[in-house]
Amino acid sequence: MAPVVRFAPSPTGRLHIGNARPALLNWLHALATGGTFILRFDDTDRERSTEEFARAIADDLHWLGVDPHRTVRQSDRFAIYDAAADRLRALGRLYPCYETEDELERRRKRQAARGLPPIYDRAALKLTAEEKAAFEAEGRKPHWRFLLDHETVAWDDLVRGPSHIDCASLSDPVLIRADGTYLYTLPSVVDDVDLGVTDVIRGEDHVTNTAVQIQLFRLLGDGVPRFGHHNLLTTAGGEGLSKRLGHLSLSSLRERGLEPMAVASLAVLVGSSEAVRPVGTMAELAGIVKLDRLSRAPAKFDEAELDGLNARLLHETPYAAVAGRLAALGIGDGEAFWLAVRGNVERLAQASEWWTVVTGPVEPVIEEHGFIEAAAALLPPEPWGPDTWAAWTDAVKAATGAKGRALFMPLRLALTGLAHGPELKALLPLIGRARALSRLKGEIA
């Protein structure tokens, strides 16, 4: 059976690079195994979840190269959560609690003062019917906790290997708030069961949740999915990533002109046993990334490294992969132009600057008029090709005695107006004889 995975963001903000890691690891796992990737919007928080954020998340994933096979929303699925809650109540595993948050906080402080762990003491299980009725008469509405089996839950983690949690060390988790809304845990398990999720790949901050969820899977499903908990991304300085770091949102990275595959390559290869390098396609990346080769240490996402990786990726990118984007920028001359300039761009948009150098207008810089006049007189007739530059400069060298920098720099300044740039061997045929001659005469062309 092919795996089924899911990425389950809350549409309460934009995706940042830290969210990209689990999204990508799930997507790559699905690609590598012929599996199915489900985008599930965990939008049970009705106050903070918005349709605008949901659309933005879908757009960001598409830009990154993640195109879900199916999309669902928890806000459409409350009926199955209600049915699951009723089933747990019937099994005696979901019980009402009437403590306020202030009462619970005072209880935790008393436990801390006695050197006890801050675990819920299950006092609500001892309430009589009369006591519950009295709370109801006060206007209190119960929140509902899941009654954990005090056992050690073990699983073979896809990333971390053999793992276990002693559930006696955990509080019975609240599954339903006093206002009747669901917290993350129950809808997540119910959806995974209903959608046939086989592999749950997520950040290591969910490890403890796994023990609770495995108990719920045993009660509500036909089996337990496999779990994999990967290391988390941090900033280069070790700071945790969050939505407040707007400059590391996927939308901001896109606006900065970064290549999605550069972002994807760094997001999944950093903090793994694989060397960080530019990878051109998701299919190729899926063949490289292995869950069991991820490090247990935090993975540091260095923006400077991303900039370098982006440049390296473009320097290796074939014309076919960017042809449409170059055309959208109004750039012509096809593959010859791209191969000539790609080694001199750090962002694809910078190709437009070199297109201007080719097509003009360029203001030539001429410092040695006699030398340039001699060079112009030796400019060969068209047609021009890859050997034209060498033939011309050999002739100029023989006529003037100039060599090295003294030969090449004056010609570059006159032809491009710049002291740096792509090899003129490739650029000169694109500029063409008419424009080259005009520039050698000092004309803006």
pLDDT of residue 416: 98
pLDDT of residue 45: 83
Same domain, 336 and 378: no
Distance, CA of 408 to CA of 336 (rounded, Å): 22
Could you write out the DSSP letters of every residue in 27-38? HHHHHHHT-EEE
Q: Does any domain span residue 199? A: no
Same domain, 353 and 373: no
pTM above 0.85, yes or no: yes
* Single residue among 160, 176, 192 that ends a domain in this structure: 176
Q: Does any domain span residue 406? A: yes
Same domain, 342 and 397: no
Q: Does any domain span residue 429? A: yes
Distance, CA of 143 to CA of 376 (rounded, Å): 87
Query: For the CA atoms of 192, 196, 199, 201, what is the dihedral angle to 10 degrees?
Result: -40
Structural domain boundaries enclosing 108 = 92-176
Same domain, 382 and 354: no
Distance, CA of 332 to CA of 310 (rounded, Å): 23
pLDDT of residue 246: 62
User: CB atoms < 10 A from the CB of 109, how many?
Assistant: 11
* Single residue among 149, 176, 203 that ends a domain in this structure: 176
Inter-CA distances, 371 with 228, 417, 419, 420, 437, Å: 68, 16, 17, 20, 14
321 with 339: CB under 8 angstroms?
no
The two structure tokens encoding residue 438: 């005009």
User: CB atoms < 10 A from the CB of 181, how many?
Assistant: 12
Same domain, 348 and 418: no
Q: Does any domain span residue 411? A: yes
CB-neighbour burial class of residue 377 (10 A; exposed 0-12, middle 13-18, buried 19+): exposed
Same domain, 374 and 355: no
Q: Does any domain span residue 230? A: no
Task: Work out the end-to-end distance of the chain between its first and last CA atoms, rounded to an integer number of angstroms.
Answer: 64
Distance, CA of 18 to CA of 245 (rounded, Å): 10
Same domain, 381 and 334: no
Buried residues in 343-373 as b, exposed as e (16+ CB within 10 A): ebbeebebbeebbebbbbebebbbebeebbe
Same domain, 351 and 389: no
CATH code of the domain covering residue 157: 3.90.800.10
Low-confidence residues of the chain, pLDDT below 50? none
- The number of domains in the chain is 3
Same domain, 352 and 326: yes
Same domain, 323 and 374: no
pLDDT of residue 328: 96
pLDDT of residue 247: 66
Same domain, 396 and 326: no
Q: Does any domain span residue 165? A: yes
Instruction: Encode pLDDT of 321-334 as tens digits.
Output: 999 999 999 998 89
pLDDT of residue 333: 82
Q: Does any domain span residue 116? A: yes
Three-state DSSP class for 162? strand
Instruction: Encode pLDDT of 117-164 as tens digits.
Output: 999 999 999 999 999 999 999 999 999 999 999 999 999 999 999 999
pLDDT of residue 244: 60
Q: Does any domain span residue 124? A: yes
* Single residue among 176, 197, 218 that ends a domain in this structure: 176
